Amino acid sequence: MTGKPPLAHTIHKNCTHLGWDRAIEPVRVARSGDRLLFECKDAAGGHFDASSTADDIGSLNPDAANPVTGPVFVEGAEPGDALKIRIDTLHPSGFGWTAILPGFGLLADQFGEPALKLWDYDVSGNRPAVFSDIAKVPLRPFIGTVGLAPAASGRHSVIPPRRVGGNMDIRDISAGTTLYLPVEVEGALLSIGDTHAAQGDGEVCGTAIESAMDVEVTVEVVKGAALKTPYFETGGPVSRHIDAKGFLATTGIGPDLMAAARDSVSAMIDLLTKTTGMSANDAYMLCSVCGDLRISEIVDAPNWVVSFYFPKLVLG
């Protein structure tokens, strides 16, 4: 016995949409307290498979990126409330991809050519995913995009995150976490997608281990919460899967946080290529799926410090 209520609804993967719009008809109606199963596609909507190569990146349709499953109308949810979303279980598919997409990512000006890494990983998460003979990445499945419809009319891109959630790409929105989102429209209109098998904080190359998976969540309406922004609470430690052997850390220092972030990642790519012999493309993608950007100091004007932490256990 798990103590969980039975599933009230399954929202199938054919019920997806692109962009947030309060006018999209809900595909299911749920009650506060219901447990729901969302079948989520990866960020490319299934464009890649086990036979794909970097040449297939050129045929990606950017307007079809990040399909989300839903929306679900939650009875009783009204503007000014919050939707409490408990992430119960994630069921990974075992296949994923990471890519350098020209024109996208923190270092897009330095990496102009497409690159693609395909992953075949253990769905139990008990074994790390093999990146190469040099590196293996511990898995931590999570939801990249989870959001509600905004009050503003019209279609809004799914790519940037918003006050009502969306494409936040927060690694810790995983099993055991409870997320609270501000409700702006009647019924909230919840959608979920862009699931990942692993990612570093920052997702620096623009992609994680992008992977389709099914997600079980329990929803609850919190009346009158009046949230300004999303917030979440985790069920326990968040980085034990990568902490065991310590970290390599590089820094960027200067008056601009974005420039400092770029400098810290560039320095880590240089360090990895010099010490391991891996290519710059591989180092960039590996940094995206397991390395963490952190603001180390933001008070000693005029210069701030951004550090990039790379887990040493990935390299054995």
pLDDT 10s digits, 43-93: 999 999 999 999 999 999 999 999 999 999 999 999 999 999 999 999 999
State pLDDT tens for residues 6-26. 999 999 999 999 999 999 999
Given this model, what pLDDT does residue 270 score? 98
pTM of this structure? 0.96
Model confidence at 289, in pLDDT bands (50, 70, 90)? Answer: very high
- pLDDT tens-digit profile of 193-252? 999 999 999 999 999 999 999 999 999 999 999 999 999 999 999 999 999 999 999 999
pLDDT value for 167: 98
Which helix H or strand E contains 232, and what residues bound it?
Answer: strand 231-233
Query: Residue 28 is encoded by which pair of tokens?
Result: 């299911």
Residue 181 has pLDDT above 80, yes or no: yes
Structure confidence at residue 304 (pLDDT) = 98
Q: Roughly what angle, to the nearest 10 degrees, separates helices 280-290 and 257-276?
A: 120
Continuous segment of H or E residues that includes residue 248: strand 247-254
The second-level CATH assignment, the architecture, of 242-315 is Roll (3.10)
Tell me what the mean pLDDT of segment 170-188 comes to.
98
Give the bridge partners for 20, in sequence order.
156
Distances (CA, A) of 133 to 96, 137, 313, 315: 18, 12, 13, 9
Query: Is the bond leading into 230 cis (omega within 30 degrees of zero)?
Result: no
pLDDT of res. 3: 66
Give the residue ranges of DSSP H helices in 174-256.
Answer: 240-243
pLDDT (0 to 100) of residue 5? 79
pLDDT at 2: 52
Q: How sure is the predictor about 1, in pLDDT bands with cuts at 50, 70 and 90?
A: very low
Domain ranges of the chain: 7-233, 242-315
Q: What is the pLDDT of residues 120-137, one digit of tens each?
A: 999 999 999 999 999 999
Q: What is the pLDDT of residue 4?
A: 75
- Arithmetic mean of pLDDT over the chain: 97
User: How far apart are alpha carbons 52 and 75 in whole angstroms?
Assistant: 42
What is the pLDDT at residue 18?
96
What architecture does CATH give domain 7-233?
A: Sandwich (2.60)
- The fraction of the chain above a pLDDT of 70, given in percent, is 99
- For the cut 90, the answer to whether the pLDDT of residue 139 exceeds it is yes
Work out the average pLDDT over 275-299.
98
